[in-house]
Amino acid sequence: MRRILTGLVSLFILNNLCAKEIPLVSNIYGRQSISLNGKWNYIADPLENGYYDYRLKPFTTNGFFENKKAQSLSDLVEYNLDNSPLMNIPGDWNMRDANLFIYEGTVWFKKDFKYTKKAGQRDILYFGAANYDAKVYVNGQKVGEHVGGYTPFNFDITDVVKNGDNFVVVKVDNKRAKDNVPTVNMDWWNYGGITRDVMVAQVPDTYVEDYSIQLKKGFQNIIEGWIQLNSQTSGQSVIVEIPELKVKQQLTTDNQGKASFELKVKPIFWSPENPKLYEITINKSDEQINDQIGFRTIETKDKQILLNGKQIFLRGISIHEEAPYERGRAWSKEDAAILLTWAKEMGCNYVRLAHYPHNETMVREAEKMGLMVWSEIPVYWTISWENQNTYENAERQLHDMIYRDKNRCSIIIWSIANETPHSDARDKFLGNLSKYARQQDNSRLISMAMEVTKAPDNMNKLTDNMNEYVDVISFNQYIGWYRASNEEARLMKWDIPYNKPVIISEFGGSAQQGLHGDKTERWTEEYQEELYIRNLEMLDKIDGLSGLSPWILVDFRSPRRQLPGIQDFFNRKGLISSWGIKKKAFYVMQDYYKKKKAEYTK
């Protein structure tokens, strides 16, 4: 009996020991790996029967994570992952299964895979993202969990993965909650599932965990950087090479497993006109990591934004991570190429990736195509400002966004929030996020999407205590749609009392592609076209205007948008339909950006 109890206790500990995530392995795509993308079995579990017993206590055994099979005709096993339907991963369940179109809850996913272990190597299970709460099991053992729907995470599974046949089971729960980030109220589809790449990377026992290589702040001819190992191992030799710049620097790690360097060089600067990237190699005796990194400076001077020391105008557009044509959550290089090509056709040199960190492929493709990037965390609308756990969640997502993309020169702005109501608690929350962002990376600009308030005599005034925490004053406004008329845009005046550059982070209105009528008729392409014409005339008068990112490139799904025959659960503010057809307002922006480009290249 004692032996049985001891075994049960050991099994309880084994299945309930939630190993913390290990720090993200930087540049996972530059490592040796096997992909777990493809067909996964899945079970929708709205009552979470696979996780809780009938007393709502988490299972220690008999949960779906065990992937149990009946061994005889008399065995009672009330699920079968092997015989469950298949879903393509990456992917969201909403668009892959019509029965789950508006489902919010738990879905279990299972993937069988063959694996070959190698001596002296660690095995890292990586997920690009899973929305929102993911619990991960390998061969029946819990390896960790992650909260947050738009940031990557990984686990060291060396001790649980084996040679030969293996399986991974993931419990994904996308239920909204008041204290989550984002909270319960949002204007985009809550796509559930494993929505980005899954892979197992093989790295040495002591490996390069992270690195930073970029221009030193305030200098145009000094590259600074560091290499961080996954352990506090001193005396390790690491070589950093940039062949085109004739750089080959040998480094030795200190007792923290870190090696830092500064190099005096004269790189060709990355810019939208010349998106120059350098091949970078990091070599250790037992591993080699390849990357492509560009070098540029970004700063502000009074009401100007300076790229590589020259004033620029951000010709932008906002983008949701919504797949073109196919619909659902975008994730692939092909999705990114289509969306960004549309932005380039409009004349953009800049994209606002709203309202959460987009996948790494999207950021890298923007960099290659010469598009500057605004990257944002989903602190959106009414967050639980006084909840410490909510703050820690937001800070963790901010950390992970910066950590993953710090070497991507295309990113010029970290955004910490969108359209948040004013309060002392909110100011403290966002002020702390801003300070944290600067601690993590002081080389980029900080901003957030604020709101303006209406004052007498058609005055629009921006008053926000967060002005002291940001480098760029950005705000959303919807004159012609949510207030006033297109014609009244001519009368509007603006009071922005800060000596900082201004970006209009959102403006726009809806149109159903193909619906035509008078320019005063809502939902028609002509109304949206007129709105853009009048708004651009109005916004051009703002002192310090340094950029625009209209809302939005492509129509996207939203449960807030319910008007039958017009919206049908789509936000129709896109300048392009979800089927890739350009609306009339697209060409208004295209013409405007042609003029702006000519103005800033004189």
pTM of the model: 0.94
Range of the domain at 264: 219-296
- In this prediction, residue 457 has a pLDDT band, given cuts at 50, 70 and 90, of confident
Full DSSP string of 426-482: HHHHHHHHHHHHHHH-SSSEEEEEEE-EEETTTEEE---GGGGG-SSEEEE--BTTT
Question: Do residues 360 and 502 both lie within one domain?
Answer: yes
288 shares a domain with 334: no
The answer to whether position 121 is within a domain reads yes
CATH code at 232? 2.60.40.10
Looking at the fold, whether 228 and 318 belong to one and the same domain comes out as no
Same domain membership, residue 71 and residue 154: yes
Sorting pLDDT into bands at 50, 70 and 90, what band is 453? Answer: confident
pLDDT confidence of residue 5: 33
117 within a domain of the structure (yes/no): yes
- pLDDT at residue 455 in the model: 78
Question: Contact, 475 vs 504, CB < 8 A?
Answer: yes
Residue 179's pLDDT is 98
Whether pLDDT at 4 is above 50 = no
* Same domain as 572, residue 498: yes
Number of domains in the chain: 3
In a domain, 303, yes or no: no
For residues 389 and 359, the answer to whether their CB atoms sit within 8 Å is no
Mapping DSSP to helix (H, G, I), strand (E, B) and coil, where does residue 84 land? coil
DSSP per-residue string spanning 481-503: TTBS-TGGGGG-EEE--SSS-EE
Task: Write out the two tokens for 555.
Answer: 């129509």
pLDDT in tens, 119-135: 999 999 999 999 999 99
Alpha helices in 31-104 (DSSP H): 93-96
Q: Please name the helix (run of DSSP H) or strand (run of DSSP E) that holds residue 340, with its range, or none.
A: helix 333-346
* Mean pLDDT taken over the chain: 94
Q: State the CB neighbour count (10 A cutoff) for residue 332.
A: 17
Query: With 80 as the cut, is the pLDDT of residue 19 above it?
Result: no
Q: What is the pLDDT of residues 180-228, one digit of tens each?
A: 999 999 999 999 999 999 999 999 999 999 999 999 999 999 999 999 9
Separation of alpha carbons 393 and 181, rounded Å: 7
End residue of a domain, out of 204, 232, 255: 204
Domain membership of residue 212 (yes or no) is: no
Residue 350: what residue type? Y
Residue 353 sits at the vertex; the CA angle it makes with 557 and 492, to the nearest 5 degrees, is: 85
Domain CATH for 533: 3.20.20.80
Residues 182, 256, single domain; the answer is: no
199 and 245 both lie in a single domain: no
- The pLDDT of residue 601 is 87
210 lies in some domain: no
Domain boundary among 296, 322, 342: 296
**Helices and strands (H and E) in the chain: how many:** 8, 35
Does the structure show a pLDDT above 80 at 602?
Answer: no
132, 96 in Cβ contact below 8 A? no
For residues 424 and 488, state if they share a domain: yes
Where does a domain end: 296, 321, 343? 296
The sign of the CA dihedral 479, 483, 489, 491 is negative
Note whether 442 and 586 are same-domain residues.
yes
- Same domain for 246 and 370? no
Query: Does residue 96 belong to any structural domain of this protein?
Result: yes
- In a shared domain, residues 187 and 241: no
Q: Is residue 85 part of a domain?
A: yes
Q: Confirm whether 5 is domain-assigned.
A: no
CATH number of the structural domain spanning residue 130? 2.60.120.260
Among the residue ranges 58-72, 236-250, 284-298, 412-426, the one predicted with the least confidence is 58-72
Whether residues 105 and 251 fall in one domain: no
